[in-house]
Amino acid sequence: MLTAAQHLGLYTAFHRAPGNQRLHAVFVPLILLTGAVFLAYLGDRSTVLLHAGTALALALCGLLACIDRLGACALLSWLLPLCALAGSAVRLVPSAWLLPLAAAVHAFAWAITVCVGHRHIEPRLRGEDSNLYFRSGYFTARGVGLHVGLIDRLIQFNIAPLSLTHDGLVRLGLRREAERNIARERAEVLARLQRGEPPLIRRR
C-alpha cells in the first residue's frame, strides 16, 4: 500500500494555494454535511445518528485508518457531529424545503472548489490548472506511476477530509514529523510532474 505521506503528498500537490485551502476548509465539510442529509433519510428518524450517513462516516474512517489511525480518529470526531446535525435537520425541517436546499448547497460547494479553487486560485503545473488531478485520474490513484490496489484507490478518492483534519492538527502544533514527510513527498511529486513524469515512485 501507499503510505500516508504518499497519499497526502499527492493530494496536497494540487492544493497548495492558501486561498484554495481555505475554500476547501469551508466547502468540503459542507459537501459532507449535505451528503449526510440525503443519507439521513435512510435510517431511523427517531434518532439523529442511526442512519446511512453515520454508517458511511464510520466506514470512511475505518478505510482511512489503514494509513493514518490518529488522523482517522480525529476525523471521526467532527464527522459524527455533522451526521448528527444532518439527522436533526431531517427530523425538524420538511423534506420539501430541506432536499432542494441541500442539493443547491451541495452543487454550489462542488462548483466553488473545482471551478474556482482549482481552476483560478491554485497555481498551474506545466501550463495546466490543478483540475489535472481529476483529468489524469490521480484522484483515484490511476496513472500515478505505481501499481496500486483497490484500497489505495478508495483512500485517494476519499482523502480530502483526512487532509483537512491533518491540517487542523498541524495548526494545533501536532504531527510535525508527519507534516515534514508530507511536505517532502509533495515537493518530489511536483518536481516529477514538472518534468512530465508520473507523480509517484516506488520506495526502496
Q: For position 204, what pLDDT does the model report?
A: 56
Angle between helices 69-92 and 95-111 (to 10 degrees): 140
pLDDT in tens, 89-103: 999 999 999 999 999
Contact indicator for 71, 63 with CB cutoff of 8 Å: no
First-to-last C-alpha distance (Å) of the chain: 13
How confident is the model over 101-133, as pLDDT tens digits? 999 999 999 999 999 999 999 999 888 999 999
pLDDT (average), residues 156-175: 97
Let me know: does 144 contact 198? Beta carbons within 8 Å: yes
Q: How far apart are CA 24 and CA 22, in angstroms?
A: 5
- pLDDT given for residue 46 in this prediction: 86
pTM (predicted TM-score): 0.94
Report the run of H or E that residue 161 belongs to, with start and end.
helix 160-171
Report phi then psi at 43, rounded to 5: 160, -165
- Amino acid making up residue 43: G
The candidate with the shortest Cα–Cα distance to 63, out of 166, 189, 158, 169, is 158
Give the single-character DSSP code of 138: G
d(CA 144, CA 154): 14
Region 75-81: mean pLDDT is 98
